[in-house]
Amino acid sequence: MRRNLTEAVPDFIWPQDIVLTHYRPELAEAVHQLMEMGYQQGGGRVPALDLWQRRFETDPEYDPSLCFIALDAQGVVGVAQCWTSAYIKNLVVHPRAQGRGLGRALLLHAFNVFQQRREGFVDLKVLEDNVRAQHLYESVGMRVVRRELVPG
């Protein structure tokens, strides 16, 4: 899916009691656990912690300032892991924080950051059967971009 960043990004309010920070290695285990939980609900899988952290922190598109971590009093409740290519790699919200607008706030925050970086678009991938996520993405102005296959 794709969001045109030349269009205005709606204002948003962070849910009460949420603090936003950036990825730091000491948060790796909690972020990894949340991603594992999210992938169980939305399909897919996450490598073991050591492998995931090594791949994440050494990826050429890695920038810790583009990995937005939402915290509440109990710990990590939301992650928007973005790459420097204006790509949202992962978006996960803990079940205890779902339904409060946190996923929407993380997306809109990422859009604002990419606008400030003068990006024209932001992209992400979503499984076709993940209808709940698709509705969220559409509600913030993202549109389906169809893949074009080259005849072989």
CATH number for 33: 3.40.630.30
Give the three-state DSSP class for 124. strand
Q: Which range marks the domain in which residue 10 is found?
A: 2-139
User: By mean pLDDT, which of 3-7, 59-63, 104-108, 125-129 is the weakest?
Assistant: 125-129
Residue 147 domain-assigned (yes or no): no
- What's the domain count of the chain? 1
In SS3 terms, 34-93 reads as HHHHHHHHHCCCCCCHHHHHHHHHHCCCCCHHHEEEEEECCEEEEEEEEECCCEEEEEEE
Residue 115 domain-assigned (yes or no): yes
Residue 96 domain-assigned (yes or no): yes
User: Can you give the pLDDT at residue 38?
Assistant: 86
User: Can you give the pLDDT at residue 42?
Assistant: 61
pTM score: 0.92
User: Which is more confident, 16 or 146?
Assistant: 16
Residue 152 domain-assigned (yes or no): no
User: pLDDT tens for residues 76-95?
Assistant: 999 999 999 999 999 999 99
Residue 150 domain-assigned (yes or no): no
User: Can you give the pLDDT at residue 78?
Assistant: 98
